Amino acid sequence: MLLRLLGVSKRFGRDWVLKDLDFSLERGEVVALLGPNGSGKTTLLRLMAGLLKPTRGRVERLGRALLLSDPPAFHRHLTAREHLLYDLAFHGREGDFAGALRRFGLPEGLPLQAFSSGMKKRLALARLLLLSPEVWLLDEPETALDAEGRGLLLEVLKEARGRGGVVLATHDRALAERVADRALTLGEA
Partner 1 sequence: MRRVLLLALRDLRLEVRDRSGLLSLLAFFAVMLFVMALALGPEEAPLRRAAPGVLWVALAFMSTLLSSRAFALEVEEGTLDDLLLTPGGKEWIYLGKLLFQLLLLFPLSLLALLVAAGLFYLPLERGLPLLFTLFLGVLGYASVATFYAGLLARLRGREALLPLLLFSLVVPVVLASVRATAGLVEGLPVAEVADWWRLLLVFDVVYVTASALLFPVVLEG
Paired with 34 in beta bridges are 185
Q: Which is nearer to partner 1, 144 or 183 (CB)?
A: 144
- Asked if 77 is part of the footprint of partner 1 (rule: CB under 8 A), the reply reads yes
Interface positions, 80-119, toward partner 1 (CB under 8 A): 82, 86-87, 89-92, 111
- On whether the CB atoms of residues 22 and 6 are closer than 8 A, the answer is yes
Q: Is the dihedral of CA 105, 160, 74, 77 positive or negative?
A: negative
Using CB under 8 A, count the residues that bind partner 1.
23
Of 156 and 179, the one with the shorter C-beta distance to partner 1 is 156
Q: For helices 117-131 and 147-163, what crossing angle results, to 10°?
A: 20
Would you say 124 or 176 has its CB closer to partner 1? 124
* Residue 74 beta carbon to partner 1: minimum distance, rounded to whole angstroms: 7
Contact pick of 2, 31, 44, 49 for partner 1 (by CB under 8 A):
49
51 binds partner 1 (CB under 8 A): yes
14 binds partner 1 (CB under 8 A): no
For residue 27, the SS3 value is coil
134 or 142: whose CB is closer to partner 1? 134
Distance CA 29, CA 18 (A): 23
Helix, strand, coil shares of the chain, percent, nearest 5, are 35, 30, 35
The single-letter code of the amino acid at 173 is R
Binding interface with partner 1 (CB under 8 A): 49-51, 53, 64-67, 69, 73-78, 82, 86-87, 89-92, 111
